[in-house]
Structure 1
Amino acid sequence: MKKKNNQALISFYIITIFPEMFTSISHYGVTGKAIQKKIIELSFINPRDFTEHKHKSVDDRPYGGGPGMLMTVQPLYLSIKHAQSLLKDATVVYLSPQGIKLNQNNIFNLIQKKKIIFVCGRYEGIDQRIIDSLIDEEWSIGDYILTGGELAAMVIIDSVSRFIPGVINKKKSLENESFCNNLLDYPNYTRPKEIYNMKVPDILLSGDHNKIRLWRLKKSLEKTLEKRPDLLEKKILKKKKKIF
């Protein structure tokens, strides 16, 4: 996956009525640096620019009654069509609690798409006709409700960005992170060796890299068993599938 003609390795077009929310990832941290280097492209389309309502409204009451408001068809439809005209062959993703649950394996699958249009809903959601006609996939970051899809989009962009070549320089640091092997990360320590009567484990100061590797694996397994035993069950099931 090489960069050609100064084009980004992965492009995100985000349809949102609150583009200013993305300042935190557009200008800061690892993702911000990747955008500055043009490894990642982040663009925004505001549905309010496509509404005919005199007050720039993009929501209305749901047919059949019920609480809350829904985002209406026209501004979203035109926003998505505009995004598709700018980003050919992009995958249109609606951030929704009904969607596929995000995990590390799904992150790798998303990277392969390279062109993604995120639709960030607000209020009680969006008109079903948009989902039926224009949405390719629905994605969720967990079984809970947010006030909009913007935070979910930021989480996914941050997660995806870390695995794009050139964003994080040290490949090993990615390979050793939590969830990459269905294990949580081992405990980590830095200087000084002792502070406030708390010491770094002696084995990490030994210089014996093989013993350190085994210690870290043991601690990783212990932590996973204690906090996320479901991950170990997945690991065992994968091995069984390989055998049979």
Structure 2
Amino acid sequence: MRIDIVTGFPRILEGPLGESILKQAQAKGLLQVVVHDLREYTHDKHRTIDDEPYGGGSGMVLKPEPFFECFDRLTSERRYDEVIYMTPEGEKFSQKLANELSLKESLMILCGHYKGVDERVRMALVTREISIGDYVLSGGEIAALVVIDAIARLIPGVLHDGESALLDSFQTGMLDYPHYTRPVEYRGMRVPEVLLSGNHREIERWRQEQAMARTARRRKDLLRE
């Protein structure tokens, strides 16, 4: 899979893309993430990517020209399954949507900043708008990282244990069950005996019961869906 990120602030992405699962996915050649700096598509000495909004008001708006020129170059080289714009106004990101996007071959993600992008970018270039929640961030870069991380772990071969991602919270419509590792006892808290029993049938039953109970306590809405 290839994901192209278009942003005016590429350094925000550098750290997370070079760590943990995202680093492993790229090292294995299973995921290619390419970051494109909007300032490379400007033509003034100040490399301006934003301007004041027409009609007045506070804040700055990202200009359309750099987005269109970057889009034109990228789409001349390959076809994209989706061109995604990260915005609080988009459809809410979910595990179901992560599963869907993980099956794509090529995605482009456009990151807004400040008050967002010129509306013509959304009208002409974007095929899908995605939100990671009902709140506002300074820009779309962190939201894009959330989406990419959720997608990457679903790509076959990225995780050492191929079943791990399939057992995550929300994959089964419920939250995940509790997890324990060594030591058996720590500060008076002991690992449940069933997990030490070696009885896989009982362990599976315990996990299902715990997942159901946790979901009922914390996210009853999932049980109603």
TM-score, shorter chain, exceeding 0.5: yes
CA deviation vs aligned residue, 1:47-105 (integer Å, no higher than 9, x gap): 11111232111111111111101001111111121222233234211111111110011
Letter in 2 for 1:49: E
Equivalent residues in 2 for 1:193-232, closer than 5 Å: 193-232=184-223
CA deviation vs aligned residue, 1:175-208 (integer Å, no higher than 9, x gap): 2211111111111111111121111111111121
Match of 2:100 among 75, 89, 109: 109
Equivalent residues in 2 for 1:105-184, closer than 5 Å: 105-184=96-175
Equivalent residues in 2 for 1:23-34, closer than 5 Å: 23-34=14-25
% identical aligned pairs: 37
Partners in 2 of 1:165 and 1:198 — Cα distance? 36
Q: Which has the higher contact order (CA 8 A, sep 6+)?
A: 2
Letter in 1 for 2:60: M
Q: CA deviation at 1:161?
A: 0.4
Runs of at least 5 residues in structure 1 that lack an aligned partner in the other structure: 1-9, 235-244
SS of structure 2 residue aligned to 1:113? coil
CA contact (8 A) 1:15 1:118 kept: yes
Match of 1:62 among 47, 53, 59: 53
Letter in 2 for 1:11: R
Partners in 1 of 2:149 and 2:35 — Cα distance? 16
Q: CA deviation at 1:113?
A: 2.2
SS of structure 1 residue aligned to 2:130? strand
Letter in 2 for 1:98: E
Answering whether residue 2 of structure 2 is matched by residue 11 of structure 1, we say: yes
SS of structure 2 residue aligned to 1:94? strand
Runs of at least 5 residues in structure 2 that lack an aligned partner in the other structure: none
Q: CA deviation at 1:32?
A: 0.4
* 1:3 aligned residue: none
Partners in 2 of 1:32 and 1:86 — Cα distance? 25
TM-score of the aligned structures, taking structure 2 as reference length: 0.96
* 1:241 aligned residue: none
* 1:71 aligned residue: 62
Q: CA deviation at 1:35?
A: 0.6
CA deviation vs aligned residue, 1:5-35 (integer Å, no higher than 9, x gap): xxxxx10011011212222332210110111
Kindly tell me the number of residue pairs found equivalent between the two proteins: 225
Q: Which deviates further from its counterpart, 65-74 or 25-34?
A: 25-34
* 1:46 aligned residue: 37
After superposition, the Cα gap between the structure-2 partners of 1:189 and 1:134, relative to the gap in structure 1 and judged at 3 Å, is same
Which portions of structure 1, spanning 4 or more consecutive aligned residues, are displaced by more than 6 angstroms? none
Answering whether residue 80 of structure 2 is matched by residue 83 of structure 1, we say: no
Partners in 1 of 2:35 and 2:184 — Cα distance? 47
CA contact (8 A) 1:98 1:140 kept: yes
* 2:224 aligned residue: 233
Q: CA deviation at 1:226?
A: 0.5
After superposition, the Cα gap between the structure-2 partners of 1:212 and 1:82, relative to the gap in structure 1 and judged at 3 Å, is same
CA contact (8 A) 2:80 2:108 kept: no
CA contact (8 A) 1:15 1:47 kept: yes
* 1:5 aligned residue: none
Partners in 1 of 2:125 and 2:84 — Cα distance? 9
Q: CA deviation at 1:112?
A: 2.4
